Amino acid sequence: MKRVLLALTLCAPVLALGEESPAPAAKDVFVQGDATAGASKAAVCYACHGPGGNGAINPQWPKLAGQHAAYLYEQLGKFKSGQRKNPVMLGQVAALQDQDMRDLAAYFAAQKPVPGVGSKDAVAVAEPLYRGGDVARGVLACAACHGPEGAGNAAAGFPRVSGQNAAYVANQLHAYATCGQNDFKNCDRGGDGKGQIMSAIAAKLTENEIQALASYVSGLQ
């Protein structure tokens, strides 16, 4: 039986011993970034996001490995502009040029993600929401945007959620819920169309549902 994951995620730059070598030269089709160049720029990111971006350091921070390059590039841009507010990330992206962000996004997208682990207890609550939503409450199915296996949709800009750290997913769902409950004021996760969709959904979830979905997507493969 599969376990599920929902949510969103994002990043910072880093390099560490033992990372996988990215495929040589070819540029990412979505961001025109060079994964090989990105590997040499990633030295600071692993301190928070783990070797290869697999998030082994702190479950409060996201895994980046295997995330869509376009999504990573978009989120780096939001941190740099201040649309997403995080003091650590702001410091990391401040000196990055546009091509640096493209290369980092291509590098992390090229890394193989390590599967997460979800709780069996979360399935009963999370799976119906993830796969079918809740029409009565106006809660869309997570799978509609993030896919049945949580792989997301690179072309549409919907992030991969499968295997993501459950604690990070829960934190982001709380952030989206806060945006939705406050009409998108004084928050950094609901500013664009996709963010407003997520905020409107998250604001209708109970705490038990948020925790269950976070665990479920972490184990989704």
Digit-coded pLDDT (tens) for 150-159:
999 999 999 9
Please check whether residue 214 is in contact with residue 170, taking contact to mean a CB–CB distance below 8 angstroms: yes
- Structure confidence by residue, pLDDT tens digits, 184-204: 666 778 667 888 899 999 999
CB 58 within 8 A of CB 78: no
Helix, strand, coil tally for the chain in percent (to 5): 50, 5, 50
Token output for 110: 């090229």
pLDDT in tens, 9-53: 333 333 333 444 444 456 899 999 999 999 999 989 999 999 999
CATH fold for domain 120-219 = Cytochrome Bc1 Complex; Chain D, domain 2 (1.10.760)
Distance from chain centroid for Cα 117: 16
176, two tokens: 């989206």
| 8 A C-beta contact, residue 215 and residue 117 | no
The CATH label, of 3.90.1150.10, 3.40.50.720, 3.90.950.20, 1.10.760.10, for the domain at 35-109 is: 1.10.760.10
Instruction: Taking the CA atoms of 208, 142, 76 and 11 in sequence, report the sign of the dihedral they define.
Output: positive
Q: What is the DSSP letter of 59?
A: T
pLDDT of residue 57: 82
Instruction: Kindly list the domain boundaries of the chain, sorted by start residue.
Output: 35-109, 120-219
18 CB neighbour count, 10 Å cutoff: 7
Number of alpha helices (DSSP H) and beta strands (DSSP E) in the chain: 10, 0
pTM of the predicted protein model = 0.85
DSSP class per residue in 74-91: HHHHHHHHTSS--HHHHH
76-109 pLDDT, tens digit each: 999 999 889 899 999 999 999 999 999 999 999 9
User: 191 with 184: CB under 8 angstroms?
Assistant: yes
For the chain, the average pLDDT equals: 87
Cα-to-chain-centroid distance, residue 32: 20
